[in-house]
Amino acid sequence: MIIKINADPVSAGTAAADLAVLKLNEAIESNREARLVVSTGSSQFELFKSLISRNVDWKKVDVFHLDEYIGLPVTHKASFRKYLYERFINHIEVRRFYPVEVEGDISRKIEELSLELTRKPVDVGLIGIGVNGHIAFNDPPADFDTQDPYIIVNLDDRCKMQQVNEGWFNSADEVPSRAVSMSVWQIMQCKTIISCVPHKVKSEAVAKSLILKLTNTLPATMLKYHADYNLFLDHDSASDIITF
């Protein structure tokens, strides 16, 4: 595990993008292609802004994303697909983007997406950490046992309030109660995991994820057991580390 503390969200996002680009270009050089998993949320704004300006042969990159609300149209401002199109996919030309689609027969779409995801290894996972310690939408207590690539999960109250506090919804009652999420096991299959986690609101979850033993009541504790885990913080998100 490598931890890098940066001055602010911009420098954290830039540093995380530096490593992501390095790993993607290494994969393209070795395999003539790369596979990337991306997360969303306000903590990833600076990372994506930096990524879209980088020298990557995006036409050789397949992009998957972690999760999506069930029952929320892609036109809603909180849709993660909308987020990714507006901040990433529409700015570059990737080989293919595989969104988590939640319309129609969700079980069939999960099966199809899972088959595509597991067809080849994922080179880089950009994995955020939630206020409640979730990774993707694996809220506590997360399922650490399932090896299904994508699963349907229930969102807890702290997760819902995070979405409200970030401005995606007006109240917790508006936040969907269920989502499709990449499983914890599947996230851990990424060759390299890069977590860009700025902002003071994340400081407690960051500190506990580093200090606590592995527990599904704080799913992010799993990440430190990955062979190539890289955590990028800013001064605010790192501020609680010394208190535990």
- Residue 148 CA to residue 157 CA, distance in Å, equals 25
How far the first Cα of the chain sits from its last, in Å, is 18
Distance of CA 120 to the CA centre of its chain: 19
CATH code where residue 189 lies: 3.40.50.1360
Residue 243 has pLDDT above 90, yes or no: no
pLDDT for the residue 242: 67
pLDDT for the residue 191: 98
Residue 244 has pLDDT above 60, yes or no: no
Question: What is the total count of domains within the chain?
Answer: 1
Its domain, for residue 215, covers 2-243
The neighbour count for residue 235, using CB atoms within 10 Å, is 16
Across 30-34, 163-167, 196-200, 234-238, least confident range: 163-167
pLDDT for the residue 165: 93
Helices in the chain by DSSP H: which ranges? Answer: 9-31, 45-51, 80-87, 106-117, 157-165, 184-187, 203-211
Mean of per-residue pLDDT scores for the chain: 96
Q: What's the pLDDT tens digit per position in 121-159?
A: 999 999 999 999 999 999 999 999 999 999 999 999 999
- Residue 152 CA to residue 107 CA, distance in Å, equals 9
